[in-house]
Amino acid sequence: MPIYNAPVKDIQFLLHDVLKVSASDVPGYEDLEADFTSAVLEEAGKVARDVLAPLNASGDKEGCRLENGVVHTPKGFDKAFAAMKEGGWTALDCDPEYGGQGLPYLMGTAVGEIFVSANMAFNMYQGLTHGAYSAIHAHGTPEQKAKYLPKMVSCDWTGTMNLTEPHCGTDLGLMRTKAEPQDDGSYAITGQKIFISAGEHDLAENIIHLVLAKASGGPEGIKGVSLFIVPKFLVNEDGSLGARNGVSVGSIEEKMGIHGNATCVMNYDGAKGWLLGDLHKGMRAMFTMMNEARLGVGLQGYAVAEAAYQNAAAYAKDRLQGRAVTGAENPSGPADPLIVHPDIRRNLMDQKSFVEGARAFTFWGAHLIDRSVRLGDADAEGLISLMTPVIKGFQTDKGFEMAVNAQQVYGGHGYIEEWGMSQFARDARIAMIYEGANGVQALDLVGRKLAQDGGKHVMAFFEMVKSFVKENEGDERLAGFLQPLKKASKDLQSAGMYFMQNGIKNPNNALSGSYDFMHMMGHVCLGLMWARIAKAAYAGLDAGTGDRDFYEAKIATGRYYMARHLPATTMHLARIETGADPVMALAADAF
């Protein structure tokens, strides 16, 4: 069975040495002292290791089962879910007014990574509840909040998001689900939604569906869409559960991975729903929580890769096969461990340097969300809005690639299900698709976010890179970080310039390069993270406190990223600068 150990040391380093959270001006961060965060993370690590990880492979194998309208989750999920509730883990970063613990989003993110690494499919039940909680918290009336949030914070009730329909996913303007206003102020919701994660299951007393539907009288297309709260069981005034609502699961999907999570077809047959937020402004309500939701998926990308990496590294140290070309390193054994071979290391270093860089990037993103929400910092809000498609798109692409790399270390043993490496790859695959397929992330980045607020945020990002380089150029030790970062950032700026100069006469010139731009920007962001990490690690070495080996490994891993990942920006720039011509040359019927 795969192992998993929470990377508490690395998380602590990011929180305290790199982000320096307890010295931050963000309200709530003053609580995040090193002893406290360490205790929380260690405890989360125990739950992950002892409760969640042992159910990961069995949940994949068993999957969910639909019988007579009831979805049965895999064996053990109920007890594990109870343990998560009991431990207060579902309430960590929720509003204390509704029973939450009020910790910053950053802390929820750090703990979330640990749970996702241990069991991604399981963690989705509470992850989606958190998303629905955020939507109601942001847009609900005081009555709605009082009615639903406490039970959702505790996960006595779980939540779902219902957007996709059989004929539309990305283009929700084509939506057919209808909402008819009723005399009692509610709406009757009718239609079919598909790909609804945790749409039905046996882990909670009630399920609160958030459903996008079209109410009559609104504009055509996406602007006429509204968001509704549709509980599985109606909730009485006193909070007790009433009648079963007109919503039911039609079937559950067989899919490539995340078998432990039920992906449902949901049928709404005049189900009672209540408007959440403003009529016809459902998409706006969705968008406000999109940064968090997409950051959460970007986190899945590297969190699954982290789990896969841990196993690949352990296997590479354990499995004896061949001899080091530079001379036997385990001369008394029948062969050397795999890890002596340069190409195995190349593979492991690709994984390790990506995962640790992505963790830093994601935490920084979570920190920006905290600044935006808790401080009302508009620059932080603009910046995270720009970064969101990169965190989601780049990290899930790379996370899957790295899970596949980890699988490769096992050779044939990676392909059979017994070792669990296939599952990591299969699970990681979905993160590239849901919450906006990565092509849509790239479109969002290049078609919308670059130009947002007059291009202010991307300029701020370039400025941030530039000042970091300038401030630290005096430190010779950082040259191996600053030079590649400057080069990569220059490539990224050239790409942006290309879009400006060529995208106006033909927007396809920009959109044909959107995917490459997203990846370039991901590399530059991780390059910046690694430069910051290296600076903090040198500071740690200089201070002479802490674990020298840890700091030195950080620096070496960062050097690898700069030397071996960042050169990708040159390739992406060359691809971008070919423009739309090669991409759009063929007539559709030549495909």
Catalytic residues: 435
Sole window of 36-44, 99-107, 360-368, 563-571 interacting with its own copies (rule: CB under 8 A): 563-571
| Residue 585 binding its own copies, by CB under 8 A | yes
Q: What is the DSSP code string of 531-585?
A: HHHHHHHHHHHHHT-S-HHHHHHHHHHHHHIIIIITTHHHHHHHHHTT-SHHHH-
| Residue 511 binding its own copies, by CB under 8 A | yes
Shorter beta-carbon distance to its own copies: residue 149 or 511 = 511
Which of 20, 36, 79, 170 is in the footprint of its own copies by CB under 8 A?
170
| Residue 322 binding its own copies, by CB under 8 A | yes
Sole window of 14-22, 287-295, 310-318, 471-479 interacting with its own copies (rule: CB under 8 A): 310-318
Which residues, numbered 256-295, are part of the site for its own copies (CB under 8 A)? 256-257, 263
Which of 250, 439, 455, 546 is in the footprint of its own copies by CB under 8 A?
439
Q: Which of 96, 90, 161, 151 is nearest to 126 (CA)?
A: 90
What tokens does 221 get? Answer: 């297309």
Pairing of strands 206-215, 178-181: parallel
Shorter beta-carbon distance to its own copies: residue 75 or 346 = 346
Query: Which residue's entry shows tokens 């909730």?
Result: 235
Cα–Cα distance measured from residue 97 to residue 87, given in angstroms and rounded to the nearest whole number: 19
CA 564, chain centre distance (Å): 24
Cα–Cα distance measured from residue 495 to residue 385, given in angstroms and rounded to the nearest whole number: 20
| Residue 500 binding its own copies, by CB under 8 A | no
Tell the smallest beta-carbon distance from residue 530 to its own copies (Å): 12
What tokens does 443 get? Answer: 């479109």
What tokens does 110 get? Answer: 């750090």
Shorter beta-carbon distance to its own copies: residue 457 or 565 = 565
| Residue 250 binding its own copies, by CB under 8 A | no
Sole window of 138-146, 275-283, 374-382, 557-565 interacting with its own copies (rule: CB under 8 A): 557-565
Which of 139, 193, 392, 575 is in the footprint of its own copies by CB under 8 A?
575
Tell the smallest beta-carbon distance from residue 353 to its own copies (Å): 9
Which of 7, 140, 414, 527 is in the footprint of its own copies by CB under 8 A?
414
- How far, in Å, are 158, 304, 523, 532 from residue 484 at the CA level? 46, 28, 11, 13
Tell the smallest beta-carbon distance from residue 121 to its own copies (Å): 13
Which of 326, 331, 454, 544 is in the footprint of its own copies by CB under 8 A?
326
How many residues bind its own copies (CB under 8 A)? The answer is 96
Which residues, numbered 123-162, are part of the site for its own copies (CB under 8 A)? none
Cα–Cα distance measured from residue 321 to residue 324, given in angstroms and rounded to the nearest whole number: 9
Which residues, numbered 334-363, are part of the site for its own copies (CB under 8 A)? 334-335, 337, 339, 341-349, 352
Cα–Cα distance measured from residue 417 to residue 423, given in angstroms and rounded to the nearest whole number: 7
Sole window of 19-27, 114-122, 135-143, 322-330 interacting with its own copies (rule: CB under 8 A): 322-330
Q: Do residues 116 and 304 make contact, with C-beta atoms less than 8 angstroms apart?
A: yes
Which of 54, 87, 102, 169 is in the footprint of its own copies by CB under 8 A?
169
399 Cβ neighbours under 8 A, 6+ residues apart: 300, 301, 302, 303, 304, 305, 354, 358, 428, 431
| Residue 109 binding its own copies, by CB under 8 A | no
Which of 311, 395, 438, 502 is in the footprint of its own copies by CB under 8 A?
438
| Residue 541 binding its own copies, by CB under 8 A | no
Tell the smallest beta-carbon distance from residue 92 to its own copies (Å): 29
Shorter beta-carbon distance to its own copies: residue 36 or 287 = 287
Q: Do residues 234 and 216 make contact, with C-beta atoms less than 8 angstroms apart?
A: no
Cα–Cα distance measured from residue 204 to residue 71, given in angstroms and rounded to the nearest whole number: 11
What tokens does 281 get? Answer: 């402004």
- Does residue 232 sit in helix, strand or coil? coil
Residues facing 264 on adjacent strands: 196, 252
